[in-house]
Structure 1
Amino acid sequence: MQYQRPDQSRAANVTYHLAPTVAWDARGTGAEYVPEAFDDDGFIHCTNGLEPLLEVANLFYQADERDYEVLVLDVTRITSEVRYDDPDQKFPHIYGPLNTSAVFGRLTAQRDSDGTFLGFAQGV
């Protein structure tokens, strides 16, 4: 599967959030999104790069049978605080709700019958 790449002019400001489709859809027409784990974690998990996101998906969400999608985020448009708590700065955390105006794309998670995430494609 070939990965979809963001426009290079935006690439430095792009991060990704993996969300169950039902959770993203549940926000309705709201201007903010808060994932299911926010109350426990205190932040929204994001990942810089689709390859690392694929690893994260298979490590933490392979057993979850729900459909998933990837929110493509412009970090410069996120209104809540964004911090890197990891030394390699690959996994930004959003400390507050995600304003949906920062979402400029969505990708569909492609999975195998055993739940393995295979990649992400346009088409949501």
Structure 2
Amino acid sequence: MSHRASLSKALPKSPEEGAALDKVALLQAQPDALARQRSNIDSSIRRMTELMPGEMTGLGRGMSSEARIAEMARREEEKRRVEVLRGDLAGVRREEHEVGLKLHRALKKADERAVYEPSGLWVRRVTG
């Protein structure tokens, strides 16, 4: 299994998501899972960039040309992996934003349909 596949596969549902009976409860559980996924990708990027040596350090004296070429190829591969992870991170952040908007809309709709007095979270402009 490739590194990319292991990071992009869907995580199992959290207990809150599994027990969610309505759409609002399901949407409220998703941001936590996405935040964990974002944190994991962030730490992977940080580890990979911290371990990545400087551009030309270590490529000097004492290395054969084959070793230099192999080292440069390894570094380029690491850079590609970091870029893939950054793309995955952008996707997770985009999904977090979309889930937040869906949750906002669902809460607003549930508040409008409520038979009790609205919570006052949604203030409508009154003009007269």
**TM tier, smaller:** under 0.3
- Using the size of structure 1 for normalisation, the TM-score is 0.22
Larger fraction in helix: 2
